[in-house]
């Protein structure tokens, strides 16, 4: 089983990165083949609304998304991991999600058949504050992204109150919860 982890934070070895690594380690411990995309290190332009994708399902922009589209459609499990920036996902991961409009066009406009059956995904997020709605906007975005690429949103790990680099290591359960999420995801 292929598990694709999308690491949306620009901070390497920061909270999101540490949580995603644990989740991928959990999936690996259940025999999954894992791959991590560090979105900040990739060249992914924001969507420019050229709308070439409406004609043939392909984006007009040539960059690292060329290699990412097949990965999004091939992985049996996808984990999106992001810190909360202004009540949303980071712009790095949002660019990747917006560029999935090409997949949306293949599915809903061109009525192409996309691989869907049994593919599942999870969301991992971390934020500094503890506001009641801290994760709401990002959850909606990730759910709609998953729906577009044919993935069922089945799990989440949402950690409020964590701010400094690596502070998540001091959280009583976050890292073990991430490991468990990865194990669960690879087994369901």
| Element (DSSP H or E) covering residue 176 | helix 174-187
Of the two residues 81 and 102, which places its CB atom closer to ligand FMN in the complex?
81
- Least Å distance, CB 103 to ligand FMN, is 26
Dihedral of the alpha carbons of 43, 127, 6, 151, in degrees to the nearest 10? -130
| Closest residue to ligand FMN in the complex (CB) | 14
The residues that touch ligand FMN, with contacts defined as CB under 6 A, are 9, 11, 14-16, 83-87, 126-129, 134, 162-163, 165
Tokens, residue 185? 């995801």
Of the two residues 20 and 105, which places its CB atom closer to ligand FMN in the complex?
20
Of the two residues 103 and 134, which places its CB atom closer to ligand FMN in the complex?
134
Tokens, residue 64? 């690292």
As a whole number of angstroms, the distance between CA 151 and CA 121 comes to 6
DSSP label at residue 45: P
Of the two residues 116 and 170, which places its CB atom closer to ligand FMN in the complex?
170
- Least Å distance, CB 88 to ligand FMN, is 8
- Least Å distance, CB 22 to ligand FMN, is 13
Question: Edge to edge, what strands does the sheet with 152-159 contain?
Answer: 33-38, 2-7, 77-83, 120-126, 152-159
- Least Å distance, CB 113 to ligand FMN, is 36
Of the two residues 151 and 159, which places its CB atom closer to ligand FMN in the complex?
159
- Least Å distance, CB 158 to ligand FMN, is 11
| Element (DSSP H or E) covering residue 62 | none
Residues across the chain: 188
């Amino acid at each position: 089983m292929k598990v694709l982890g999308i690491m949306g934070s620009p901070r390497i070895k920061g909270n999101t990165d540490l949580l995603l690594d644990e989740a991928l380690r959990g999936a690996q411990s259940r025999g999954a083949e894992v791959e991590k995309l560090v979105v900040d290190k990739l060249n992914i332009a924001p969507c420019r609304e050229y709308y070439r994708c409406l004609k043939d399902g392909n984006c007009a922009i040539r960059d690292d998304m060329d290699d990412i589209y097949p990965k999004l459609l091939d992985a049996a499990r996808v984990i999106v991991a992001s810190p909360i920036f202004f009540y949303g996902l980071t712009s790095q991961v949002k660019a990747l999600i917006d560029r999935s409009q090409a997949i949306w066009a293949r599915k809903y406009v061109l009525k192409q058949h996309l691989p869907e059956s049994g593919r599942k995904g999870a969301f991992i997020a971390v934020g500094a504050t503890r506001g009641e709605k801290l994760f709401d906007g990002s959850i909606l975005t990730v759910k709609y992204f998953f729906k577009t690429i044919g993935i069922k949103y089945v799990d989440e790990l949402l950690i409020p109150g964590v701010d400094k680099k690596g502070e998540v290591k001091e959280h009583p359960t976050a890292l073990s919860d991430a490991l468990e999420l990865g194990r669960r995801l690879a087994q369901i």
